[in-house]
């Protein structure tokens, strides 16, 4: 065993993954908050260019700068106020300067990213599958929360996720490469066909193109054999949660209500990633 071989031990690896996942979760909160704003800035600049006007003057914004600040008072977040989970609890969910409430989404994202990474390390052990599962989890967390809050599924996340899935499956981390390529194509086309079928039947758009790309990324990671399970689970979960959201917001059934499908694809895909094989075997045994 090498001097660093202890890092891969089953008693150590999940704890390291938990720590890393919590830190990544803190960064995911930045991605969730800033990436849609960065996209909106790009769109405004493009619209101004098409109109022959100068781009709007706005302060620089990226995923790494400027330093995170309280949106209410502008207080710069210090290092001690940015420790995953601990800082939110220590501050009691409030800004240390103005007392404005800090959304519970921040510790929730950190917790999901940390526990998910630890479980991936425990489930798959040291290797490309554990790393791939953690990456898949982190990407889908960001996509789910961004879609839920803004209705956007950024190409900056869905397309890299697709390529990561294909690259990992060159070595068969989750599926044979052939199944992964077919899965990427089938994942996109399955929702694309549903979209056009619904639009031709009703004249309305039932989902966005980001959903197609996210489903393609799921197919690239898990292979085409998992797609029926993902589509079925996401539809059932989406219907249940969508109905609850609709009744909570309006108090009645509204056929015109639209909900975002990305979070339910994410939930279904994670179920398929970790427990898809046992579920399919259980189903096959009962046929």
pLDDT above 80 (res 249): no
Residue-wise pLDDT for 126-178, tens only, equals: 999 999 999 999 999 999 999 999 999 999 999 999 999 999 999 999 999 99
Contact 172/127 with Cβ under 8 angstroms?
A: no
Q: What is the pLDDT of residue 221?
A: 96
The CA–CA distances, whole Å, from 270 to 56, 105, 202, 274, 278 equal 40, 19, 32, 6, 14
Residue 167 tokens, joined? 């690259």
Cα(first)–Cα(last) distance of the chain, in Å? 47
* pTM over the 0.75 mark: yes
**CA pair distance 237, 258, nearest whole angstrom:** 15
Q: What is the pLDDT of residue 258?
A: 61
Q: What is the pLDDT of residue 153?
A: 95
**CA pair distance 258, 151, nearest whole angstrom:** 10
Q: Which residues lie below 8 Å from residue 37, measured CB to CB, with a gap of 6+?
A: 61
Contact 188/218 with Cβ under 8 angstroms?
A: no
Q: What is the pLDDT of residue 286?
A: 77
What mean pLDDT do residues 247-269 have? 74
Residue 258 tokens, joined? 């639209």
Residue 30 tokens, joined? 């930045």
**CA pair distance 222, 279, nearest whole angstrom:** 14
What mean pLDDT do residues 107-132 have? 95
**53 pLDDT band (50/70/90 cuts)?**
confident
Q: Which residue has the higher pLDDT, 60 or 26?
A: 26
Domain spans in the chain, listed from the N-terminal domain onward: 7-103, 127-287
pLDDT above 80 (res 265): yes
- Rounded to 5°, the CA angle 155-160-164 comes to 155
**1 pLDDT band (50/70/90 cuts)?**
very low
CA 74 to chain centre: 28
**CA pair distance 44, 36, nearest whole angstrom:** 12
Q: Which residues lie below 8 Å from residue 151, measured CB to CB, with a gap of 6+?
A: 208, 260
How many Cα atoms within 13 Å fall on the side-chain side of residue 83?
7
């Amino acid at each position: 065993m090498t001097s660093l071989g202890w890092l891969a031990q089953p008693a150590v690896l999940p704890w390291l993954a938990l720590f890393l996942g919590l830190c990544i979760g803190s960064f995911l909160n930045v991605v969730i908050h800033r990436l849609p704003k960065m996209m909106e800035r790009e769109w405004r600049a493009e619209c101004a260019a098409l109109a022959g006007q100068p781009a709007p003057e706005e302060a620089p914004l990226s995923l790494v700068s400027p330093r995170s600040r309280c949106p209410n008072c502008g207080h710069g977040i210090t290092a001690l106020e940015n420790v995953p989970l601990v800082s939110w609890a220590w501050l009691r969910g409030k800004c240390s300067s103005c007392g404005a409430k800090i959304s519970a989404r921040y510790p929730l994202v950190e917790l999901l990213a940390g526990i998910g990474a630890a479980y991936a390390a425990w489930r798959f052990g040291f290797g490309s599958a554990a790393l791939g599962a953690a990456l898949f989890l982190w990407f889908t967390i960001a996509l789910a929360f961004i879609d839920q809050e803004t209705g956007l599924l950024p190409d900056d996340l869905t397309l890299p996720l697709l390529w990561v899935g294909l690259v990992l499956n060159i070595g068969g981390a989750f599926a044979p490469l052939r199944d992964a390529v077919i899965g990427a194509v089938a994942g996109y086309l399955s929702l694309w066909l549903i979209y056009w079928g619904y639009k031709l039947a009703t004249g309305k758009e039932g989902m966005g193109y980001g959903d197609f790309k996210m489903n393609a990324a799921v197919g690239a990671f898990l292979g085409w054999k998992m797609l029926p399970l993902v589509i079925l689970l996401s539809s059932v979960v989406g219907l249940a949660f969508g109905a609850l959201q609709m009744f909570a917001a309006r108090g009645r059934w509204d056929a015109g209500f639209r909900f975002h499908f990305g979070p339910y694809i994410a939930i279904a895909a994670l179920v398929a990633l970790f427990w898809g094989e046992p579920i399919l075997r259980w189903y096959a045994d009962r046929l």
